[in-house]
Each structure stands twice: as C-alpha cells, then as structure tokens.
C-alpha cells in the first residue's frame, strides 16, 4: 500500500478490531463513513495489510552469544565497561 493512510481509517480499523460493542450512533457513523468509496478502499487496504502482517514468519530468536555480543557492543559504544 503506497498511499498515506488517513487518520480516520486507522481509527476505524482500531475500533473495529478491538471488539468493543458499538452503540447505534457509532454504528451509523461507521455506515456513513464506509459508504464513501475512497474510505472503503482505504479500509480494505488496512485489512489486507493486517492479514499480510499476520502471515509473516516470526523472526528467529537470537542466541545467548548474539545477545551478549550486542550488550558488549552497546556498552562499548556508550563508553561503559562491564567492570565499572
């Protein structure tokens, strides 16, 4: 999705995905907003993006040695040492 997402589309997506019950007024606002073709297209794009994200494989976990190397590199960059 190359277009910039509107704040409204993201808010509706978060609200709808939260599972929170909508009152009649909010449901009516959703119907009106979603009736606009551009809004619907943008919302469907968000749904597709969410689907794509859920289908990504989980990253491999770092080994203990990799984590220790990262900590040592961060300490070196900040001028700290393990011995104080």
Residue 37's domain comprises: 7-78
In degrees, rounded to 5, the angle at the alpha carbon of residue 42 between the alpha carbons of residues 37 and 44 is 95
Residue 84 lies in a domain: no
pLDDT of residue 22: 85
Q: Tokens for 6, please give them.
A: 């509107």
User: What is the C-alpha to C-alpha distance for residues 12 and 8, in angstroms, rounded to an integer?
Assistant: 6
pLDDT of residue 29: 94
The pTM assigned to this predicted structure is 0.61
How do the pLDDT tens digits run along the chain, 84 residues long? 445 668 999 999 999 999 888 899 999 999 999 999 999 999 999 999 999 999 999 888 989 999 999 999 999 988 865 555
Q: Specify the number of domains making up the chain.
A: 1
pLDDT of residue 79: 81
Residue 1 lies in a domain: no
pLDDT of residue 20: 86
């Amino acid at each position: 999705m190359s277009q910039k997402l509107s704040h409204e589309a993201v808010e509706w997506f978060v609200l709808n995905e939260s599972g929170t019950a909508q009152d009649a007024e909010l449901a009516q606002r959703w119907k009106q907003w979603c009736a606009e073709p551009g809004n619907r297209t943008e919302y469907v794009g968000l749904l597709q993006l969410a689907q794509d994200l859920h289908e990504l494989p989980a990253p491999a976990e770092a080994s203990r040695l990799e984590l220790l190397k990262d900590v040592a590199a961060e300490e070196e960059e900040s001028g700290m040492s393990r011995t104080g």
